Amino acid sequence: MTNRITILGSTGSIGVSTLDVVRQLGEDYAVDALTGNGNIELLARQAREAGARLAVTADDARYQDLKDALSGSGIAVASGRSGLTEAAEGPSNWVMAAIVGTAGLAPTLAAAKRGAHIALANKECLVSAGDLFIRAVADGGGRLLPVDSEHNAIFQVLEEGQRHALERIILTASGGPFRTWTREAMANVTAATARAHPNWSMGLKISIDSASMFNKALEMIEARHLFNVRPDQIEVIVHPQSIVHSMVGYSDGSVLAQMGCPDMRTAIGYALSYPSRPRLDVQRLDFTKLSRLDFEAPDEERFPALRLARRAMEAGGLQGAVLNAAKEVALDAFIEGRIGFLDMFEIVETVMDRMVDTPPAASMDDVFAADARARADAAALLARRAA
Ligand code: NDP
């Protein structure tokens, strides 16, 4: 059977890689719907090339631009939240969740509820909605396949039959561009410096999140929900070469690792082809050219995001949603040059302190409410600083 796939966020880094993988998978996959936000030219080109049924821009103001760009193609066009929902609820049996940030939560949830298989790049779904999201996938009857390279690596080496022997999950982190910098030097960096990731080519926001290690913080929470492990079973180790994508440790002392060149197409291809392995045209690891593999403990003084993630995991409930929402507001402020790099940590921690008594989420409405409150709180903190 040919699979049909909808790509939420097709114009982003993961979206572009997914379309390449889909092309490589040949007749096994056909594209159903594609969504983007501001990059209308690329979205229209992708939709024509892939023969999509539907193209959606999340930005209502760009609807006419997309309509014009696709005129005569026969491809349906939609926009805004309703357009994203229409794409997510369409007839495809697969959905790649690759919208950046919390904006990806509602459409991915809609896809999960109707039983689509979800290839999950958007970690915010699990960080904010955690068990509620996992339950929505289970109730819908689809599968959840992790695309984040670390989680995909763990998924590849976690032997479900050996769950009882699972001791720990070891997430690797490149350490980002400031791995060896002092705190004083980090205080003055700009978004342009922070986005320069040493190994991976990624979107702007995740690149800066990698530099601050907020990305690893989100991944810790993501791992907790995906693999149903306790917070104390999740370790982070800095591995600057990004060759070992993550590891699983067992009760006999064995550690299983997944390795490869840093290229998201391997993780995407594995997710979409599971349980088979596809043939992919990606660079092969040449061990004779690897001079060394280094590992070092992360410095939680310079990178307090890791400590905040532990705190959110231990508190449970809505603390993940609070951490993520406050982080998104602080990140935007840093990108716009309104605050310094280290200020992001302080803003997130202050908002978490203020919302420490938030009750556990009973429904998605609670998640969206906590998200909105944390954003408002973070925005108020920023306004006070600017005054
Ligand atoms: P990009 O910034 O490259 O792309 C984001 C995508 O989301 C684009 O298609 C963009 O549209 C769209 N988008 C932006 N804002 C909105 C909005 N408000 N509503 C709807 N769509 C929107 O991000 P990445 O591809 O790097 O990352 C996507 C997700 O995958 C993130 O959650 C990230 O954490 C995760 N991830 C990414 C990895 C990577 O290697 N890049 C690795 C692992 C996880 P447009 O460009 O048209 O404006």
pLDDT in tens, 276-312: 999 999 999 999 999 899 999 999 999 999 999 999 9
3-class DSSP assignment, residue 235: strand
Which protein residue has the closest C-alpha to ligand 1 atom 4? Answer: 12
What is the CA angle 325-100-358, rounded to 5?
Answer: 20
Which protein residue has the closest C-alpha to ligand 1 atom 20? Answer: 58
3-class DSSP assignment, residue 249: strand
CATH value at residue 122: 3.40.50.720
Indicate if 250 and 124 belong to the same structural domain: no
Q: Which ligand 1 atom minimizes the distance to the CA of 9?
A: 9
User: Is the CB of residue 328 below 6 angstroms from any atom belonging to ligand 1?
Assistant: no
- For tokens 């903190």, what's the residue? 381
Instruction: Give the number of domains in the chain.
Output: 3
The per-residue pLDDT for range 179-210, each reduced to its tens digit, is 999 999 999 999 999 999 888 888 999 999 99
Q: Compute CA distances 230 → 45, 224, 248, 295, whole Å.
A: 44, 6, 14, 23
Domain residues for the domain of 379 are 316-387
Indicate if 204 and 111 belong to the same structural domain: no
Indicate if 178 and 293 belong to the same structural domain: yes
The dihedral over CA atoms of 208, 347, 98, 286, expressed in degrees to the nearest 10, equals: 30
The per-residue pLDDT for range 22-45, each reduced to its tens digit, is 999 999 999 999 999 999 999 999
Instruction: Say whether pTM exceeds 0.85.
Output: yes
Which is nearest to 245 in space by CA: 134, 169, 160? 169
Indicate if 164 and 193 belong to the same structural domain: yes
Indicate if 8 and 114 belong to the same structural domain: yes
Indicate if 16 and 86 belong to the same structural domain: yes
Give 84 Cα–ligand 1 centroid separation in angstroms.
Answer: 14
- Here the tokens at position 48 are 């024509």
Model pLDDT, residue 199: 83
Q: Which of 59, 99, 218, 328 to mutate to test the pocket of ligand 1 (most atoms within 8 A of CB)?
A: 99
User: Is the CB of residue 244 below 6 angstroms from any atom belonging to ligand 1?
Assistant: no
- The answer to whether residue 268 sits within a structural domain is no
Indicate if 141 and 156 belong to the same structural domain: no
User: Which of residues 119, 146, 173 is at a domain's end?
Assistant: 146
Q: Specify the pairing of strand 255-259 against strand 244-250.
A: antiparallel
The per-residue pLDDT for range 110-131, each reduced to its tens digit, is 999 999 999 999 999 999 999 9
